[in-house]
Structure 1
Amino acid sequence: MLTWDSEIWGKLTGPYSSADNVPVLLQQLMQQYSQEVFDDLFQEHLFHQNTIYTATYAAMPFLAQIACSTSDAEVRKELFINGGIIEASRNECDEDPFPESWAELAEEAGSSVCTELYREYLEAIGKLKTLTKEVFSYAADPSIDDTEKRYILVADAAYRGSHSVANMLMTFMAGDEYVVVCPACAEDVFIWPDEDNPAEILQAYEHDPVFHTGQEAHVIAPVTSFADEEIRALAERAEAIGEQRLVRHLYYLAGETECPSCREKISVWPSLLGTFTM
């Protein structure tokens, strides 16, 4: 990990160009965790406007160390979730020794520095992944609401390398609507809960039901079991932490329907994830 006084911090980028505040805030967290300080660090410096920066990569080993050493389950959960959000936002096509987008940093700080920063980032992600069992056990408590459970599933998917699943869940965090693209006609298909049974049944619509009421609902034929490995893994994990609405909806998201625009058959899951494949 970088030392607090390393000159490399001054070469890293954040949302406001300089990353000088990042080591200051990290040092405060390492001394005594504060949710207020972490929120400032995460929202204003590491993940500002849903974007990650070279400073984000450099900060991750410190956050992983806090998460792995704390005895506070709530802190562990917070860092697990936010680390997963960062990992989900990373370009999954990045390869060793470091991301191509770091070319300017490599020129300024040296390739060896970039290689080490990226290696330490990946190592930190691995450490956070080892916390999955503990976080899932904590999240299974009924006091944890469904939104937090879904964020935990986002992080878990990211740590498992299922970036498209993680980003899909983040995009449709409320879990009450999804949008897929028909592979035949490229039109959007709106997946929406049935009015009479919203927790159980999903249906397909040609237009956004929020703005177009009274339109025809198209049946989605649910599956009875999951053939796709990714959706099966997600269902198992959703079941483990008690996100039952998502479990029930996944049978429909793994099913088939008719495109309301062109009437071609659609397999919902690949059409849903296709939007999030890098």
Structure 2
Amino acid sequence: MLLLSDPRWQELRGPFGSSHRVPMLLSRLKEQYDPEVRDELYWEQLFHQNTIYSCTYAAVPHLFMLAQTSGHLETQLDIYISCGMFEANNPNEPDCEIPAEFARDRIALEPEAAKEIYRAYREALAVLAGLGESLVSYVRTKETEKRYFLAASAAYAGFRDAASMLTVFPDGEEYVLGCPACGEDVYLWPDAQQSGPLLLYKEDPVFAPKKEGLRIEVRPSETIEELNWKHLYLQAKRIEDEAFLAQLPWLAGESDCPHCGVPLRLWPALLHMF
């Protein structure tokens, strides 16, 4: 782990150049988990426009240690979700040793130093993943955080596509996917009662509200083989996210593309864009 006093922070990069402010912000967060400091660190230094940076990898082990020592479930959940969001946007392959961001940003560090930073990041993620177990009961009481918890859980489990999908469509009011055959966008919306099945639309119902949606054929949950779907299903049951549990069978359903008529498996098509 890169110590906060290490001069190599100056060599790392964030969205707006040098990450020289990151150690100071991390130090202040360790003293008090202040929302303003947190927002500057997360959204101005470590993560910007769905992109992470070399300094993100160096910062996560410190956030993990903060989560470990914090006695506040709210703080632990926020760190769990935020670091999960970082990982959801990690573009590197699982067996990567030096993240592509180091070459992209021309980081002037020795290869071994870059490897050690990323190794510490991966080790911190592995322990953060386990933190989710202790947060389940708390998340059950936090309706607005459930979908983000599921996204983070998916990211820690290696399902970055499912994690990214949930961060883009967290409220479940609309899903957009592309037909693999014709490339046209297709829209998934709940029915008018917001409690029944999802329906498939050729056009965005916001702009074509009178168009009727196509029915989706639901597959029995025990026949669904996609591991990312199974992970979300099991985790949603644990945190009692009833709204998402009601939608999941439809998200893994089948229909015909309203543009070209080719049979369409919704779950792979939905995740393909991520």
Provide TM-score, normalisation by structure 1: 0.93
SS at match of 2:125: helix
Question: What is the distance in 2 between the residues matched to 1:245 and 1:208?
Answer: 22
C-alpha deviation, 1:274, in angstroms: 1.2
C-alpha deviation, 1:104, in angstroms: 6.4
The one-letter amino acid of 1:24's match is M
C-alpha deviation, 1:150, in angstroms: 0.3
How is 1:1-278 mapped onto 2 (pairs within 5 angstroms)?
A: 1-93=1-93, 95-103=95-103, 108-141=108-141, 144-145=142-143, 147-195=144-192, 197-226=193-222, 227-228=224-225, 229-276=227-274
| Aligned residue-pair number | 272
Instruction: Tell me if the contact between 1:201 and 1:252 (Cα under 8 Å) persists in the aligned partners.
Output: yes
Instruction: Tell me if the contact between 1:68 and 1:127 (Cα under 8 Å) persists in the aligned partners.
Output: no
RMSD of aligned residue pairs (Cα, Å): 1.6
C-alpha deviation, 1:169, in angstroms: 0.7
Instruction: Tell me if the contact between 2:176 and 2:185 (Cα under 8 Å) persists in the aligned partners.
Output: yes
- After TM superposition, the structure 1 stretch with the greater mean CA deviation from structure 2, 110-119 or 173-182, is 173-182
- Deviation track 1:119-162 (CA, whole Å, cap 9, x = no partner) reads 00101111111101112221012xx12x3100000100000000
Q: Name segments (4+ residues, structure 1) moved above 6 Å.
A: 104-107
SS at match of 1:85: helix
SS at match of 1:130: helix
Instruction: Tell me if the contact between 2:12 and 2:107 (Cα under 8 Å) persists in the aligned partners.
Output: no
C-alpha deviation, 1:49, in angstroms: 2.8
Relative to structure 1, the CA distance from residue 95 to residue 105 in structure 2 (aligned partners, 3 Å threshold; closer, same or farther) is farther
Q: Percent identity?
A: 39
Instruction: Tell me if the contact between 1:182 and 1:266 (Cα under 8 Å) persists in the aligned partners.
Output: yes
- Deviation track 1:169-211 (CA, whole Å, cap 9, x = no partner) reads 111112111112112222111111111x312210001000000
Relative to structure 1, the CA distance from residue 105 to residue 263 in structure 2 (aligned partners, 3 Å threshold; closer, same or farther) is closer
Unaligned runs of 5+ residues in structure 2 are none
Instruction: Tell me if the contact between 1:92 and 1:163 (Cα under 8 Å) persists in the aligned partners.
Output: no
Question: What is the distance in 1 between the residues matched to 2:100 and 2:175?
Answer: 33
Provide TM-score, normalisation by structure 2: 0.94
Relative to structure 1, the CA distance from residue 237 to residue 82 in structure 2 (aligned partners, 3 Å threshold; closer, same or farther) is same
Instruction: Tell me if the contact between 2:84 and 2:155 (Cα under 8 Å) persists in the aligned partners.
Output: yes
SS at match of 2:177: strand
Instruction: Tell me if the contact between 2:53 and 2:101 (Cα under 8 Å) persists in the aligned partners.
Output: no
The one-letter amino acid of 2:204's match is D
Relative to structure 1, the CA distance from residue 126 to residue 157 in structure 2 (aligned partners, 3 Å threshold; closer, same or farther) is same
Question: What is the distance in 1 between the residues matched to 2:103 and 2:261?
Answer: 47
Relative to structure 1, the CA distance from residue 106 to residue 114 in structure 2 (aligned partners, 3 Å threshold; closer, same or farther) is farther
The one-letter amino acid of 1:217's match is G
C-alpha deviation, 1:53, in angstroms: 1.0
Unaligned runs of 5+ residues in structure 1 are none
Question: What is the distance in 1 between the residues matched to 2:220 and 2:6?
Answer: 56
